[in-house]
Amino acid sequence: MALVELKDVGKVYGKRWVALADITFSVDEGEFVFLVGPSGAGKTTLLKLLLAQEKPDSGQIRVAGFDLTKIKKEQIPLLRRKIGAIFQDFKLLPDMTAWENVAFALRVCGYPRKLIKSRTDELLALVGLLHKAKSYPNELSGGEQQRVAIARALVHSPVLLLADEPTGNLDPHSTDEIIQLLLDINRQGTAVIMATHDMEIVERFGFRVLELADGYLVGDRKTNIGGGNLS
Amino acid sequence: MYRKISPMYPNISPMHQEFSPVYSWRVHMYPAFSPVYQRRSPVSLSISPCEVDCGGVYLREKPVDKMGALWFATQEAVKSFWRHRFVAMLSIITIAGALFVLGFFITITLNLHSVLAGVQEKIAVELFLKDNITKVQVSSLMDEISKIEGVREVEFITKADAMKRFTDRFGQKYLVGLEENPFPPSILVKLEPGTKLDQTVKSIVDKYRGHKFITQISAPGKVARKLSNALKIFLILSAIWAVILFFGAIIIIVNTLKLAIYSRKESIEIMKLVGATDSFIHLPFMIEGSLNGALAGGLASVVLYLALTGMKKIIPAMQMPPDALYYGIVLLGIALGVLGSRLAVKRFL
């Protein structure tokens, strides 16, 4: 069974504004998928649906074994422990250090203290930021902040990582770093869906590309298979 | 470079350590307070398409740290309380004021009640009987009356007793020249004090007016009877005040918490995103609300105690309320806090 399955999914905001219509696709475990399209095409809405932040108005969505059209409120936390999410604006808490930001995600899920410590160190090491554990977000560069956000998104060892324009605020060098990190994570078995409107990245790395325009899925193609290496 | 990490769990086989980096295991987690955590949803484990088999080592331990969660929530609550200490102080003082007035009302009602009871104890209905009534008739009549609800005591006053009563009060001089005892025998009905006194009087008068053995009924005057109505009005006022206070205090607490919730919008968003359960997210606000309520109740109790002790010095006859009132006010404060925070969490989260 596929990790993510969408069938004829539609989402309408208010009464008239159609954010998504007739979206059908599936993503397998361990896949890397780019979600492209101009601003307002529905990329963010789609990711919100996958995170169960919004409910679809029509169609069916299955993510990691949960039926999101019928999911109960108390099951949403369970779903979100299988999905990591990162965003353009990082969403780090400014009054906490990098370490505390990652540990926060574990604390609020009721993990024991010992586990929190070792796991946080481990995740910060994974994203290469253990030496900046005590820095506050405003002391970190954009790329570093995004890496902290990635570490936080990985606390539950998710099966799926959603990235909403993760490189939107970053310089080219940091962008490459972040994408390399996402590739590493993907190589270790986590499926990644990355929304972006930076076609240059997409062309360079290849993988599967889902293209959205005005709420419709207008393309599902694989580009440059076998590529995907930074050199 | 960032893969040289010592294995976190001893129960992972060495083989896994060798081949797989950090991602070699999936931690199977259960939410701290979720009612669904016993239902294990099977995780669809990923068999990676890449060169490293992620294997999927389950950790069967349940990392549910309830004490840790409670500690976290308490810390958050206190932090937030301190951050909004001026607003919190305002709401505490307002609620304490309302609780104080309620306690004061209850004390006044209590005192009024005891004063009225003293007055009402002296109120009695007297049924004057015909001279030729027999003892048997009297005793059956008394039996009948004592069965009426609200009657405390029934007393038979003979002609001689009546005469004695009169002379005790007014002296002999008015009776000079009378050949026989002019006073009729009577039954004195003493009544139970309370709000139903008026009704009891009415039912006795209605029942025995025009009775064959009874010549006349002397009932207490209107003013005396209306005293019981005053008590009733006071009780109703207290109840209305309690209801107004209840809603007012809840609105105040809801608004205080609304501020706390809005100022932590970001962290709530992240908590939701990383899969914190609703109960975990709500707990800090519930604790903060209860803290507000408890402090308001405590403040009201202390001020009420001081005020009443001060009044007792001026009016020594004043009756002090039982200690239960003070505890009751604190408990009411906490109850208001819990209820208010439930509402706030429901509305704004």
The amino acid sitting at B96 is A
Name the packing angle between helices A113-126 and A142-153 (round to 10°): 130
Residues of A in contact with B80 (CB under 8 A): none
Q: pLDDT per residue over B301-342, tens digit each?
A: 999 999 999 998 998 888 888 999 999 999 999 999 999 888
A229 domain-assigned:
no
Q: How many residues make up chain A in this entry?
A: 231
Q: pLDDT per residue over B256-277, tens digit each?
A: 888 888 888 888 999 999 988 8
**What are the angstrom distances between the C-alpha of B32 and each of A124, B122, B266, B276, B284?**
24, 66, 21, 8, 14
Q: pLDDT per residue over A64-75, tens digit each?
A: 989 999 898 888
Could you tell me which chain B residue has the CA closest to the CA of A123? B22
Q: What pLDDT, on a 0 to 100 scale, did the predictor assign at position B31?
A: 39
Distance from the Cα of B241 to chain A's closest Cα (Å) equals 39
A18 domain-assigned:
yes
CATH of the domain at A47: 3.40.50.300
Q: Give me chain B's average pLDDT, please.
A: 76
Q: What pLDDT, on a 0 to 100 scale, did the predictor assign at position B179?
A: 75
Query: Which range is least confidently modeled, B38-47, B215-224, B339-348?
Result: B38-47
Contact call for residues A102 and A179 (beta carbons, < 8 A): no
Split at pLDDT 50, 70, 90, the class of B139 is confident
Q: pLDDT per residue over A99-111, tens digit each?
A: 999 999 998 888 8
Distance from the Cα of B260 to chain A's closest Cα (Å) equals 16
Q: What pLDDT, on a 0 to 100 scale, did the predictor assign at position A230?
A: 45
The closest CB to that of A112, out of B33, B49, B65, belongs to B65
CB contact under 8 A, B278 and A155: no
Q: Give me the percent of chain B exceeding a pLDDT of 70.
A: 79
CB contact under 8 A, A30 and B48: yes
C-alpha dihedral over B48, B54, B55, B60, to 10 degrees? -120
Chain centroid offset of residue A69 CA: 20
Residues near A79 by beta carbon (within 8 Å), at least 6 away in sequence: A51, A52, A63, A64, A66, A68, A71, B275
* SS3 state at A222: strand
Q: Give me chain A's average pLDDT, please.
A: 89
Distance from the Cα of B343 to chain A's closest Cα (Å) equals 18
The residue among B67, B76, B273 with the most chain A CBs within 10 A of its CB, best to mutate, is B273
Residues of B in contact with A109 (CB under 8 A): 29, 31-32, 274-277, 280
Host domain of residue A101: 2-222
| Per-residue buried b or exposed e for A122-153, using 16+ beta carbons within 10 Å of the residue's own CB | bbbbbbebbebbebbbeebebbbbbbbbbbbb
Could you tell me which chain A residue has the CA closest to the CA of B26? A157
Query: Which range is least confidently modeled, A78-82, B180-184, B218-222?
Result: B218-222
Split at pLDDT 50, 70, 90, the class of B20 is very low
A228 domain-assigned:
no
Q: pLDDT per residue over A169-204, tens digit each?
A: 899 899 999 999 999 999 988 999 999 988 888 888
A231 domain-assigned:
no
Distance from the Cα of B92 to chain A's closest Cα (Å) equals 28
A227 domain-assigned:
no
A209 domain-assigned:
yes
Q: pLDDT per residue over B164-208, tens digit each?
A: 888 888 877 777 777 778 888 888 888 877 667 777 888 888 888
Could you tell me which chain B residue has the CA closest to the CA of A128? B2
Domain count, chain A: 1
Eight-class DSSP state of B226: H
* SS3 state at B235: helix
Q: pLDDT per residue over A106-140, tens digit each?
A: 988 888 888 899 999 999 999 999 999 999 999 99
Size of interface A-B (CB pairs under 8 A): 156
A230 domain-assigned:
no
